[in-house]
Amino acid sequence: MKHLRLVSVLLFAAGRAMAQTPSTTSADNEKPVPPATIKSFDLSAMDTSADPCKDFYQYACGNWVKNNPIPSDQVRWARSFSLLQERNRYLLWKELDSAAKDPKTPLEKQYGDFYRACMNTDLVEQKGLTPLEPAFAQIASLDDPHKVAVIMGDLEAEGAPAPLFRFGVSQDEKDSSKQIAEIAQGGLSLPDRDYYIVDNPRFQQIRKQYIEHVTKMLTLAGDSPEKAAKEAAAVMEIETALAKASTSRTDLRQPENHYHIYTVADFQKLAPDFDFSIYFSDVKIRPFDTLNVATPNFFKAVNELTASEPVDAWKSYFRWHVIHGTATNLPKAFFDENFAFFGRTLAGQKEPQPRWKQCSTLTDRALGEAVGQDWVKQNFPPAAKANMDKLVAALEKSLGDDIKTLPWMSDETKKSAEEKLAMFRNKIGYPEKWRSYAGLKVERNDLIGNVERSTVFEREWDLEHLGKPVDEKEWGMTPPTVNAYYDPSMNDINFPAGILQPPFFDFTIDPAVNFGGIGVVIGHEMTHGFDDQGSKYDGKGNLREWQTAEDRKEFTERTDCVADEYSGFEAAPAHGEVAAQNLNGKLTLGENTADNGGLRIAYLALLDTLAAEGKSINEKIDGYTEEQRYFIGFAQVWCQNQTEQTSRQLALTDPHSPGKWRVNGSVQNFDQFGKAFGCTKGQPMYPVKSCRVW
């Protein structure tokens, strides 16, 4: 199971406000149009009036940033990622729309019906809250706080939202051959625990607006304004208590902080007032004796709340979460109010995405490998996979060469690092074996029912892994996804077909741009195996120290340099009573380390490739040397605009730095950049002292 594990992804961990699902809006009638072609190298994107030695991001991306404002249905707009996502989603829509109208196979009928049910806005309006009545009835039956476990189990058994905590199956971090039960904190509606517990003007205002939003939603659901306000206060009280007991995202980045093996009996002692045996029975997991309790203190707080909160407060909490978790599938009034707070207020998004986009995304999320089978046939030819295999091999060689020459690492640790690299598993494009969705019932006129049945189907599929051998061929992303990831327990790097397209992956262009694009992506994911998290897992995916004590000390000094450096970068400026917000260098440390390492080893692979082809790094195309084109190509992957609200939210929740600092932070730590652009030592992009881990 991937949803409890902190796998390292390339792009970003999408926040709630950016995860759009169906709505009923004025944009519903917008017709899809084919997206524009994306250039792998774009001279017009550059601001050549800027000094690359002072601000390389402005030099490589300045004109693109100026000329490409954020579309009204987006919160972040990136030259490579966003444009390719739009292209892939359009191609996905064509497949889904065709299947909804005229399915040719049982698989097409299944995902075509799911998509069609999502698009039927008239039926959404007609049904109103009727699909939620069974959940409401279960919640209304709660007559004792000690029966919270019963209600939560009953709701989850039906696929209704009940997010007090997260439960599933994942690999044992100290024995990656085993799959064990795992449980972790949850239960919050706002993006992060800081929104509840940090006392500054911005968060105070958001908390006030959140309570008003909950009140409005419950009023729409039929409660009187007075009752809804009382319920909203109860929701805030419970969620604030859960937030105070939650471990921070930064602390959760350290594997040892979320690995605590308990017997079931000892775990129950943490929360004796919450009957986990009932919950485990309701979600239909086979018997087990031990589990990983990722956040023990959180469950102590759950127990205290079970004892202290009255039954009506718990009814309010679960009633709210059923409405909130389903709001984007409900009639227009609910969607609009939900979007007004989570989209517009929290993220700065001006309007929802058109429904065809939302339904395409939702169908991909529910039936990803069913849809993906047909998507890759049309959009990922075998030649692309073969070329990617060659690139990965070139990057593996470069990382191996880099390890051999590291000045701070002893021979003993280098040997262990080389052994881990040799054990990397590479997954490219799509799964070797597709998942079956034969057990998932899809009805053409039942959107919420389809979503709930999909939720149950996914949970049962996940829980079925308990005690079984690890299947190293399973994927955690769907084929059309524009992203990539490294999984430390699998020790594998994963590149969905969705990202293996121009502008990242384009063999019609010169090698420098290709290595600056997909080459750095590959190097980024490989470096994750050796960042502050990945370096704590061995080649078999087990949480185990394989560096010598002295090397770990040297490693930590270097990662501290990176963390301190990025903590000095501003994510959002000050205005009025709202203070400036810097990045959290500890939260973003793994991604920043991977960016820096990926840039270095992809450059080494480029040198090897050009040498093998008898070419020089100094050959010019369009006035730029191959070396300069490599760095410009890398930078243009990260050209982006995003709303201030999203910048502030992501600075708290996203382990990735924004585009500007992914570019400038990386190049200023790689002396070869300063040499390529003739910078003077001491200039911002060519500092006297820089940070280097790999």
Over 274-305, what HEC string results? CCHHHHHHHCCCCCCCEEEECCHHHHHHHHHH
CATH number reported for the structural domain that contains residue 302 in this entry = 1.10.1380.10
Phi and psi torsions of 493, nearest 5°: -110, 140
Return the pLDDT at 381. 86
User: CA–CA separation, 206 vs 225, rounded Å?
Assistant: 20
Containing structural domain, residue 308: 129-208+248-328
Which of the four pLDDT bands, split at 50, 70 and 90, describes residue 13? very low
Strand partners, 171: 179
Contact indicator for 5, 486 with CB cutoff of 8 Å = no
Structure tokens at 260: 């605590």
Does residue 76 form part of some domain?
A: no
Q: How many domains is the chain partitioned into structurally?
A: 1
What type of residue is 11?
L
Q: Write out pLDDT tens, residues 539-568.
A: 999 999 999 999 999 999 999 999 999 999
Please report which residue ranges of 339-381 form alpha helices under DSSP H: 346-347, 355-366, 368-379
Contact indicator for 552, 545 with CB cutoff of 8 Å = yes
Q: How crowded is the C-beta side of 467, counted as CA atoms within 13 Å?
A: 7
Does residue 150 form part of some domain?
A: yes
Q: Is pLDDT above 60 for 5?
A: no
Contact indicator for 516, 634 with CB cutoff of 8 Å = yes
Helix/strand/coil for 195 = helix
Q: Write out pLDDT tens, residues 323-377.
A: 999 999 999 999 999 999 999 999 999 999 999 999 999 999 999 999 999 999 9
Structure tokens at 210: 């959140």
Return the pLDDT at 576. 84
The per-residue pLDDT of the chain, averaged, comes to: 94
What is the mean pLDDT of the segment spanning 76-87? 95
What is the mean pLDDT of the segment spanning 16-29? 40
Torsion over CA: 588, 593, 594, 596 (sign): positive
Phi and psi torsions of 242, nearest 5°: -65, -40
Contact indicator for 481, 498 with CB cutoff of 8 Å = yes
Does residue 365 form part of some domain?
A: no
**Extended beta strands in 600-691, E state:** 620-621, 624-625, 640-642
Does residue 149 form part of some domain?
A: yes
Cα of 260 vs its chain's centroid, Å: 24
Return the pLDDT at 19. 35
Does residue 429 form part of some domain?
A: no
Who wins on pLDDT, 154 or 576? 154
Return the pLDDT at 163. 87
Contact indicator for 291, 169 with CB cutoff of 8 Å = no
Return the pLDDT at 4. 47
Strand partners, 570: 582
User: Which residue carries 């382990």 as its tokens?
Assistant: 655
Q: Write out pLDDT tens, residues 573-602.
A: 998 888 999 999 999 999 999 999 999 999
> Quick one: what percent of the chain has pLDDT higher than 70?
96
Which of the four pLDDT bands, split at 50, 70 and 90, describes residue 94? very high
Lowest mean pLDDT among 386-390, 394-398, 623-627: 386-390
Which of the four pLDDT bands, split at 50, 70 and 90, describes residue 3? very low
Q: Write out pLDDT tens, residues 270-313.
A: 999 999 999 999 999 999 999 999 999 999 999 999 999 999 99
Name, in order, each residue with C-beta under 8 angstroms of 484's C-beta and a sequence gap of 6 or more.
Answer: 9, 10, 477, 493, 494, 495, 496, 499, 521, 524, 525
Does residue 321 form part of some domain?
A: yes
Q: Is pLDDT above 90 for 662?
A: yes
Structure tokens at 553: 């000390």
Structure tokens at 664: 């400038």
Which of the four pLDDT bands, split at 50, 70 and 90, describes residue 414? very high
Q: Which of 658, 663, 656, 592 has the alpha carbon at shortest distance from 12?
A: 656
Does residue 154 form part of some domain?
A: yes
Please report which residue ranges of 426-548 form alpha helices under DSSP H: 447-463, 511-514, 520-528
Structure tokens at 15: 């926040």
pTM > 0.85: yes or no? yes
User: CA–CA separation, 378 vs 371, rounded Å?
Assistant: 12
Strand partners, 34: none
Q: Which of 106, 120, 118 has the alpha carbon at shortest distance from 370?
A: 106
Q: Which of 662, 685, 585 has the alpha carbon at shortest distance from 78?
A: 662
Residue 373 DSSP symbol: H
What type of residue is 300?
K
Does residue 539 form part of some domain?
A: no
Q: Is pLDDT above 60 for 27?
A: no
Phi and psi torsions of 537, nearest 5°: -115, 140
What type of residue is 282?
D
